[in-house]
Structure formats: structure tokens, C-alpha cells
Amino acid sequence: MRRITIPILLLLMLSFAGCLSTTLIPTIAEPQTQPPTDQECDIAVEAMAAAEAAAPLPFTVLYAGADIEKAMYEPAVGAYLGIWLWDGLRKQDINAMAEREHAVFAIEMTLGDEFPSTWILQSISARAAPLIVLRMPESAAEDFPLHEITMFAHELGQYNLPAFVVFNPLPSVPGISAEDYVLLFRYARILFRTYAPMAAFVWHGDDINATPKCPFYPGHDAVDWVSVALTAPQGPEGFVYDIPSKLKPFYLSFQQYKPIIILPIGVSHFSHRDFVYRVPQAAAEIVRVYEAIRDGFPRVRMVVYANHGLTSARGDDFSITREQGTMEAYRDAIADSHFISRLMPRGDDGPLWLLSPLNGYYHEGQVFVDQEVLPAGHRRVSSNAIAEINGRSFVEIGAVQEMEIDIDHTRRVIWITG
């Protein structure tokens, strides 16, 4: 067994820092030692590059899930493009600005508000499905509004079109118990199946650490999709959250059971905390996040961007349409064919890919996967094909027999078909 460790670059970085100080950092006093020459700086840079190249390079590992039924409207591959509009923008306007049509438009309302007939008709004219975030009135904690829910489902059902209903998202009505929340959700699901059978029912978790064991989770039989909100406020030290890292616990908990919606997603380019615009940083982050979703979260089937302004506690502006840089970045991010502009019936073609919590690695021209990723019958290989990386045993994929393994070196993704 070989042992591969990620090299420590501290000494090289210190040498390289000396090169930077002679060119980028002004000094007040004369240095006590002779600064490195240009040639010495070039050597340090080359050494750093060589050391980084020698380090094992992490790859995302996806594997084919077995016997997992796709949900209502779940595509075989890809994620629906969705957007949540504010500021009076028309649906056709955002489609023109993005140079892509959106498959889903989102709206939020409280049961008892006027039914959004005009908004639904506008969605239909834009060839998009409506997604309605339907909150319950505060009185629902004491008096279940079953009649009002029935009337709402009946009105929606009259349009006879595909739709998504995010019912009573958490955090819900103050004072409602988990038992009552689940009871109300399940009753509502029955009513919508009766009066609006083309509406997919969505459970929205209040926390990225929510799991199917959460006492407020209504059960797999009552839920078609699940959703979670992920936004990245920005400040002087950078982004407060890394959206892909923040998504991962929630994703791993639900990927085997339900397709996932990010509702909404948003990247800040301005905050009232310090009144500084950071548009280039936001633009780069938008592109990075959508690429991460494409490459590492195959059962994220819908991404709904929050095109709204100052709504966080710090007054962050997550909109994309107010700044040319963020709009261009969003346009570039969604141009990839992974993101879908049309709702489709349940996709049954091809395997349903799941994310392994364990990375693979590329090292010295070979690709390795963690032994635990492989089925038990494929873990026995020659000791020469096993390497220890960061304290775990990895197998060189060339030694794995009778398994289909595909690799995308550009995106750093490994697909394993059992």
C-alpha cells in the first residue's frame, strides 16, 4: 500500500511572500537582509506550482442509485431554472435579460390573500410553471383552515396545469406543534390531490441540518419535493456562507428520497453593513455556485434565484438585475444545458445519480476512489492498487473489475455505475 499525503507548502509560501514584498508591499525602512532576486522568485513560484501539482486533487464522486422512483415532474437529468421576481419585473423581461426562458416562476402569499389569477396567467403566457409558497395565517395554530385550503386547491385545479405548492414552509405559524403541523400538511396534501392533482407538494425545511427524522417532516408519502433556502451575504471578510458546503448536509439527508429545490438561492453584491458594492465578487460567486450545483448535486432539480433587494438582517442586496456584472454572471451561469427551461413529465431515462459523501482523488496520472464507495464485491483488489490518502484506503479505478466508471477531468467528477 502506498501512502499519499498532501504536502505542506508553508516554507515555499514564506519564500514566495518574500518575492511579493519586494514588488507589491511598500516599505518604510530599509530591509535588514537582501531581498530575493527575480530568478529566486521564479524558482519559488515554480516550486510552489510543482508542489501543488504533486498533491492529490479531489474529485466529486457520483454513483447510480438503485430502485429510486423519480418524483412528479422530476427530470431525468438537470435542474429547472426558476426565479423569484420583485421590483415589478415582467416575466418576459427577465427571460430576455437572461437570454434563457425560466421553467418556474415563484410567488409567496398567505392563505386568505386574493388568489393570484393574473400572476398564474402571466406564468402560462411565459410558458412557465407557477411555484406558490403558501403560508398559513396565524390563526392556523388554533383553528385549522381546511375550508380555505380546499377552496384554494379548487381554484388552482381549475387551471389544469403543472404547478408546485410549497405548503406552510418552516418556520411555520408560531405556536403550532410538530404533531399539528404534520396533521395539517397531510390533510392539505389529500385536498390538493383531490382538487389540484397536477400540483406537486413541496416541504420546505427551516434549517440546512433538517433530515427526514425531523419531527416536522410529514413523511415521504405526503411530500413530492423538498426545498431549502441558501443565500450568501457578503462583507469585508468575504462571503459569510459557502453555499455548496452549506447545502451538503441537507442534500445528503434527502437525496435518496426526494428531489431538492434551492428556494431561494441568492448571492449578495451590496450590504448596508458597510455600504460597499462588491459586484465582481458576487458575479464570480454566482458562476461558481451554479457550476458546483451542476457538478456535485445531481438531485438538485430546481434552482430558484431570489431577484430581490435589501431583505436580510444586514440589508443585503441579492438582486441580479440591478447591476450589469451580476446579470451577465447569471446569464453565463445558466447558459449550461444542465439547467432546463421547460417543465417535463417524470423522467425515467437513465440512472438517478447520487452524491457520495466521500471524495475521490487524482494523483500522478491515476484516479482513486474510497474503498467504502465501492460495493463489497468490488473492494478486493491487489495491494499495489491501494493507496492511503489522508488516512483512508483508496483504490485505483483501473483495478476495479466489472464496473462502469466514467471520469470528467475538466469538472473533476467521477461517475460509478454499479
Cα atoms found within 13 Å of the Cα of residue 98, Cβ hemisphere only: 25
Cβ proximity of 255 and 356 under 8 Å: no
Q: Which CATH number fits domain 72-340: 3.40.50.720, 3.20.20.80, 3.30.360.10, 3.40.640.10?
A: 3.20.20.80
How far is residue 346 from each of residues 182, 220, 331, 418, measured CA to CA in Å? Answer: 26, 17, 27, 23
Grid cell of 291 as nine digits: 457550476
Report which secondary-structure segment, H or E, holds 242.
none
Phi-psi region of 88 (alpha: psi -120 to 50; beta: other; left: phi over 0): left
Written as tens digits, the pLDDT of the chain (418 aa) is 666 654 444 344 444 444 433 333 233 333 344 555 666 555 554 554 444 456 889 999 998 887 788 999 999 889 999 999 875 678 888 999 999 999 999 999 999 999 999 999 999 999 999 999 999 999 998 899 999 999 999 999 999 999 999 999 998 888 899 999 999 999 999 999 999 999 999 999 988 889 999 999 999 999 999 999 999 998 888 888 899 999 999 999 999 999 999 999 999 998 877 888 899 999 999 999 999 999 999 999 999 999 876 565 668 899 999 999 999 999 999 999 999 999 876 555 667 888 999 989 998 888 989 888 887 767 677 777 788 888 888 888 888 877 888 999 999 999 888 6
Question: What is the separation of C-alpha 195 from the centre of its chain, rounded to a whole number of angstroms?
Answer: 32
Angle between helices 91-98 and 324-333 (to 10 degrees): 80
- Whether pTM > 0.85 for this model: the answer is no
Name the residue among 315, 320, 336, 313 with its Cα closest to residue 266. Answer: 320
Query: How high is the pLDDT of residue 309?
Result: 66
pLDDT at 287: 97
**Does residue 337 sit in helix, strand or coil?**
coil
- φ/ψ of residue 189, rounded to 5: -60, -40
How far is Cα 411 from Cα 185, in angstroms, rounded to an integer?
40
Structural domain spans, the chain: 2-54, 57-64+352-417, 72-340
Question: How many whole angstroms separate alpha carbon 109 and alpha carbon 91?
Answer: 18
Which amino acid is it at 57?
A: L
Whole-number pLDDT of residue 162:
95
Written in H, E and C, the secondary structure of 157-212 is: HCCCCCEEEEECCCCCCCCCCHHHHHHHHHHHHHHHHHHCCCEEEEEECCCCCCCC
